[in-house]
Amino acid sequence: MAAVGAGGRSPVTLPEVRPDLSALAGYHSAQVDVEVRLNTNESPLPPPIGWQEALTAGIAGIEFNRYPDRQAVGLRRALADSHGVGVDQIFCANGSNEVLQCLLLAYGGPSRTAALFEPTYTLHRHIARITGTTVAAGPRRHDFALDLDVVADVVAGSDPVITFLCSPNNPTGRADSLEEVATVAGIVPGLLVVDEAYGQFAPSSALDLRRQDPSGTRHVVVVRTFSKTWSMAGARLGYLVADPEAVQACELVALPYHLDAAKQLAGRLALDFVDEMNERVAAIAGERGRMASAFAELAVETWPSDANFLLFRPTARDAGAVWADLVSASVLVRDCSQWPGLTGCLRVTVGLPEENDRFLAALTESLR
């Protein structure tokens, strides 16, 4: 049989990737095989056993030969009830990263700008660039609080269609106050997207603003995730609470049936375990306090955290060397030491008490 293409097509080359993407490095936390993983801000605890049982039973009833509920109505209704909003104000996706991507696909793109204040969650900038959205960035203050003058300048200078806040802010840990968020909401020309991936740890939420002044905060979008406090990072589920118009915009760009049936069920069932979730938040906050107190005795600079992680900077040793010492002790933390605005910083997720003990012992040894 003659070979296909006989006559000689020269070796096939693939097209160049979009030129605006070629400079982008992927977003990856180093995955090293260690015993104590404190690098990605997950919950150290599995979901409640009651949830696992209910999910197993529920999965047996799923018709896997059928597409899932395209509108994810059961899940969205449960979320809407939990927040006291309408089902038309909830949009769900595969992790809050995908929620952010949908917002940027719907509202961003070429000739549009997103504003953000760094250091902050790096995926805001990353997804903006993937979607062809211009990024206008301003610095946070030295203590990582928002500088409202900088915010006003960046917003006035760039006319952003989306302004991102991250509260509590990853990787610095600090939550913006309700007054600060309200001030920013008062000056942005487009959407104000408040990423509250760690919202359950924070003293306030932009959802409070939406409740207090529904018509004046129609443009405020609050993004949440099941990955952290709900112990469900493996399920990949996130959502937003917003004006129905913004929900419809996200639905325009989401792929059909993007939320599988098992995920919809997993999320809906999780909402029956709010008490367990709150207990975990309290336990982790307690451990966070213990770790912060231990830091006070060590040669590190650290910052107050309203989340399930702490940022710290070794003052007497190179951060990269400390990170490597910790890995040698089978403890993995996030190395932020080369990130803009975070020179010499490491970030540690609050783990189980025994994991935190291992971390503190290894850190003490490294700094000795």
Binding residues vs ligand PMP (CB under 6 A)? 41, 95-97, 121, 166, 170, 195, 197, 225, 227, 233, 238
Residues in CB range of 98: below 8 A, 6 or more apart: 236, 238, 258
Q: Across the beta sheet with 238-241, what order do the strands follow?
A: 90-93, 238-241, 220-225, 191-195, 162-166, 113-118, 134-139
As measured in angstroms, the least distance from the Cβ of 242 to ligand PMP is 16
As measured in angstroms, the least distance from the Cβ of 203 to ligand PMP is 17
Closest to ligand PMP by CB, 234 or 286 = 234
Closest to ligand PMP by CB, 47 or 366 = 47
Closest to ligand PMP by CB, 124 or 210 = 124
* Contact status, residue 146 vs residue 183, Cβ threshold 8 Å: no
As measured in angstroms, the least distance from the Cβ of 220 to ligand PMP is 16
- Reduced to 3 states (helix: H, G, I; strand: E, B; else coil), residue 250 is helix
Residue 262 CA, distance from chain mean position: 22
The Cα–Cα gap between 80 and 257 comes to 20
Prior bond of 168 cis (ω within 30°)? yes
End-to-end CA distance of the chain: 73
Closest to ligand PMP by CB, 133 or 227 = 227
CB-based closest residue to ligand PMP: 95
As measured in angstroms, the least distance from the Cβ of 316 to ligand PMP is 29
The Cα–Cα gap between 151 and 139 comes to 9
As measured in angstroms, the least distance from the Cβ of 227 to ligand PMP is 3
As measured in angstroms, the least distance from the Cβ of 31 to ligand PMP is 14
Closest to ligand PMP by CB, 29 or 177 = 29
Closest to ligand PMP by CB, 194 or 300 = 194
The Cα–Cα gap between 90 and 78 comes to 10
